[in-house]
Amino acid sequence: MTETPYEAETDGVIVRVRPRFLPEQSDAAARRWVWAYAIEIVNASSHTVTLISRRWTITDALGRVEIVEGPGVVGEQPTLRPGEAYAYTSGCPLSTPSGSMVGAYCFVTSGGEPFEAAVPAFSLDLPGAPRVLN
């Protein structure tokens, strides 16, 4: 995993991402490179929030873009009280040996107010390659 996580904060919700290349699931001859990414979401706000949906923009090394949207994350719509955190791991296959992802989580507060929390842009780079994004 990346030592220093990518991090963004929106309205007191902190999102940290640590991507990791998965050589055991990748096959260069088949043009398939796979990464896992560990996400930690911390509610540093004073409100209880529920993650309703997600939106990802995935870009490969050739500039091809895929948008992925859906309810919750990994089949869950976690509710976080102030000070609580939620973590999960998911994955992303690409047809190029590098790329990037950026996204947003749609939340609603316990008072019914919707807001989006940014997921920082992060690089999907082979081990030893320079990071494309800091």
What percent of the chain stands above pLDDT 90?
89
The model's pLDDT over 67-118, given as tens digits with 9 standing for 90+, comes to 999 999 999 999 999 999 999 999 999 999 999 999 999 999 999 999 999 9
- Tell me, yes or no, whether 1 lies in a domain: no
DSSP string, 105-133: EEEEETTS-EEEEEEEEEEE--TTSPPS-
Residue 97 near residue 33 (C-beta atoms within 8 A)? yes
Cα 43 from Cα 66, distance rounded (Å): 28
- Tell me, yes or no, whether 131 lies in a domain: no
The model's pLDDT over 23-74, given as tens digits with 9 standing for 90+, comes to 999 999 999 999 999 999 999 999 999 999 999 999 999 999 999 999 999 9
What is the domain count for the chain?
Answer: 1
Helix, strand, coil abundance in the chain, percent, nearest 5: 5, 60, 35
Q: Which pTM value belongs to this model?
A: 0.91
| Beta strand extents in 32-98 (DSSP E only) | 33-43, 49-60, 65-71, 79-80, 85-94
- Tell me, yes or no, whether 18 lies in a domain: yes
- Tell me, yes or no, whether 59 lies in a domain: yes
- Tell me, yes or no, whether 125 lies in a domain: no
- Tell me, yes or no, whether 132 lies in a domain: no
Pick from 116, 113, 120: nearest CA to 47: 113
Residue 15 near residue 119 (C-beta atoms within 8 A)? yes
Cα 39 from Cα 127, distance rounded (Å): 19
CATH number at residue 77: 2.60.40.1470
Domain span at residue 10 reads 6-118
